[in-house]
Structure 1
Amino acid sequence: MVADGSDQTEEDDFVDAYEYATEADVIQVEEPDTADPSEEGAVAGSFAPDLDVKPQTPTPENVLFVAVGVYVATLAIGQMFVGPVIYAPETLAAITAAVAVGTAVCYGIFSRTDPDT
């Protein structure tokens, strides 16, 4: 330690060991070509403020995906709060029936309504 209380010493090793950056150290980022008219629409996860989001009726594939997600989430949350009793056959049957009925009702409502409303 120097007499004034600072941590600096007389010799500075950092300056002696410093290496300059090479071309391999620099990351090159290419700008996307936005003038290409052949590209269509937005992709899931992309940001495209110039495109409108259009409502559609749900497809059976999407409905099944959401139903399985709700079912798995219900089992996971039930396992956290109730414990292993959630996997009893009666409980699994009740959860499966509730998710199936709820999915059917929601699909019926959303497939019959007009997406413009």
Structure 2
Amino acid sequence: CNAAKDAYDYLGSPEGELALAQACVYLATAPKSNGVYVAYKAAMRAAKEHGSLLPPKHILNAPTKLMKAEGYNEGYLYDHDQPDAFSGQDYFPEKMGRKTFYDPPERGFEREIKKRLDWWAKLRRERGG
């Protein structure tokens, strides 16, 4: 849509109006979903419910000897060094536990996103994450 606006700004009327019309048709016919809205609201509720919790120690940086002695960064796995570039580690605060906020519907491109999320969930189960 920004490209349509830019085309209109560059071309002016009447040629630029075609870009705006095409953007309108695209948006009107695109698959609709409130999945992100629902996920955002659920994440905000969780943040309000749990407040400010520390992330797990394994993902905290340990630049000092004291922090290393306290267990910071212990057991951390760098995703890009793992098979499929996915460690499956849990990054949620321990007192909160893993949550799923976004559950995409089987429509439009969200169908592809769901496949990827399902694949990551499978890898996480297999790797004990």
TM interval, shorter chain, is under 0.3
Bigger RCO of structures 1 and 2 (CA < 8 A, at least 6 apart): 1
In our comparison, the structure showing a higher alpha carbon Rg is: 1
Q: TM-score, with normalisation over the residues of structure 1?
A: 0.25
After TM superposition, the score normalised by the length of structure 2 is 0.23
Higher helix proportion, which one? 2
